[in-house]
Amino acid sequence: MTARETPTTIGRYRIEGVLGEGAMSIIYAGFDPSINRHLAIKCLKDEVARDDAYRRRFLTEARAAGTLTHPNIVTIYDVGEADGRPYIAMERLRGDTLADRVAAEGFPSIPVVIDLVGQIAAALEFAHRHGVVHQDIKPDNIILVEGWTHAKVNDFGVARLPEGDEHHDGMVAGTPAYMSPEQLRGAATDGRSDLFSLGVLLFWLLTGDKPWRESEIDRLMAERHDNPQPALIPREPGTPEVLLEITRSLLQSDANQRYQHAHEVIDDLRHARRELERLRADPIATRILPMRVRWAAILGGILAVTLLTGLGSVYVKQDQALTGLALDFGASLGRTIAQETAEDLLLNDRVAVRALVEDMRRNDQIRYLAVANREGQVIASARGEEVGARLPAFPEAGQRHLDDGIASHHGTLASSETDESLLLFDVPIRYQAHPIGTLRLGVDSHPLEAANQTTLMAMITALLATLVVVLGAAWWLFRRLLAPLDVLRDALMRVARGETGHRIRLVRRDEFGRLFTAFNLMSESLSRREPAASTDPPTPPTDTDPTRVIEPSDTSGEAPTDAPR
């Protein structure tokens, strides 16, 4: 018997035809004459039956599903071997796989999704309680019978049994797109792995796509690593938020962060159904971003950007102006001191130069002062240790070049043990236009920094105060604008429920007033389309058998007379 032949019998079962064929097995329509039962016979193909690994996997399916009797699991009746090929006799279902049904009819509605996933979770809960992990939950292994109302889990071919997973021999078995991270790694798995697969299936039902597109294992693992929580955008905008949270929890990479048992999923699915019923009872109660929040946020964002741009520009301009004033002050002070020092430096009168330096140090604004000769040797300095040494080179970074050859730098002294911030000036000392030395002046920059800091804090305070006031006013105003919208919403809902006689009695002299008038005209038009009812009191219906008064018969024998009462 070859794989292409249809046998007449397999064991004691009569074969009536082929129900389906896969890469490894054929499913026949069988009949058990001993108990008059129609069933399905799953049999390995000849070339596959000769492979010990596939035979073990096939027997695993029989052992796994054969111990499970549940309304949402395909029932196994018998297992055996005929003509060298093992077979499984199971219940014959009249239905399609979930994948085929979706391909033919499209994705089901959210209530159906909740119901189907709940049935699959119930099957998994039962299997897990008996120590069986399916390891291949996917749409192709879910059989739908009785339309969309009843789901059955099928194909336990790669299931892990309570006594171990000896049939895998270290191999990863399953469908990669639906496998859990631990299953992809070949690590030990438990029922939480099936729950991850259920999460992938639920994601697919809600969005119409799988959470991760790759099918090759290495690329799939890399994609999951880079995007562990893919965007969950449901097909139906009214999908309950609880259902989305269930999906995200099922898809957690860490098994400890997922649901630990399928019955927990079932409990939360009940919450999702209740939320869906609430939303369906009030269709307008779907998740929205209120206009008062959206408008206030937009207005606040525009205002914040405008204020930040304007205040930032003002701050930069003020900083430039204050810095310019400080530079002019320092340069002027340096020129003055250089002129007073020039003659003494030319005469090499070190005592006079040092006296001048000591005198200038009494100025609170002068934090540092040094005089060097033409060779760069320090003649006098506010720091005694610098006398006789070479004047440190002026840093090039951040250096400004001013008039008369003066250079300026905002920083700290190279020879200072502190980090005191100074405005430093290198002023050439000239005598009759000939350079004879250098004056280095350090002016305290803290007043400049304090002024900038004060300005910045004042601007930030003004910005925050303006935002708070404007956003508060916008919130209050938008709430007042939304009040008539709520009136219109309630009126529309009443008309939707058939109350076409409802009218908006609120009088407004603005655009909302026009909107209310248009609504009232619409309601009036709908009322006129309904069958007209008479304004007169209704006439009682004619009684076909009215109450009558029958007078007793007299002695003359005349027929009795009837008088309606």
**Number of other residues whose CB lies within 10 A of the CB of residue 448:** 20
In DSSP terms, 549 is beta-bridged to 563
Instruction: Tally Cβ neighbours within 10 Å of residue 236.
Output: 13
Non-local CB neighbours of 361 within 8 Å, separated by 6+ positions: 369, 382
Cα separation values, 445 from 382, 383, 413, 415, 423, Å = 18, 19, 13, 18, 6
Continuous segment of H or E residues that includes residue 133: none
> Which ranges constitute the DSSP H helices of 67-141?
98-105, 110-129
Rounded distance between C-alpha atoms, residue 98 and residue 112, angstroms: 12
- Are the C-beta atoms of residues 445 and 422 closer than 8 Å to each other? yes
Handedness of CA 287, 292, 295, 301 (dihedral sign): negative
Q: What is the distance between the alpha carbons of residues 227 and 224, in angstroms, rounded to a whole number? A: 5
DSSP letter (8 states) at residue 71 = T
Q: Which amino acid is at 379?
A: I
**333, containing H or E segment:** helix 291-346
* 373 φ/ψ angles, rounded to the nearest 5 degrees: -80, -170
Q: Which of 506, 508, 502 is nearest to 523 (CA)?
A: 502
- In this structure, what token pair is assigned to residue 555? 């002695």
DSSP letter at 378 equals E
**258 Cβ contact partners less than 8 Å away, ≥ 6 residues apart:** 192, 195, 196, 199, 249, 250, 251, 252
| Cβ-based neighbours of 133, under 8 Å, separated by 6 or more | 127, 159, 160, 189, 190, 191, 193, 194
Q: What is the largest CA-CA distance in the chain?
A: 174
Alpha carbon 105 to its chain centroid, in Å, reads 29
Phi/psi at 417 (5° precision): -90, -10
Is 194 annotated in the active site? no
- Tabulate helix, strand, coil % of the chain (nearest 5): 45, 20, 35
CA pair distance 121, 481, nearest whole angstrom: 47
Report CA Rg, the chain.
46
Choosing from 115, 136, 165, 268, the catalytic residue is 136
Whether 18 and 3 have beta carbons less than 8 Å apart is answered as: no
133 within 8 A of 194, measured Cβ to Cβ: yes
Active site residues: 136
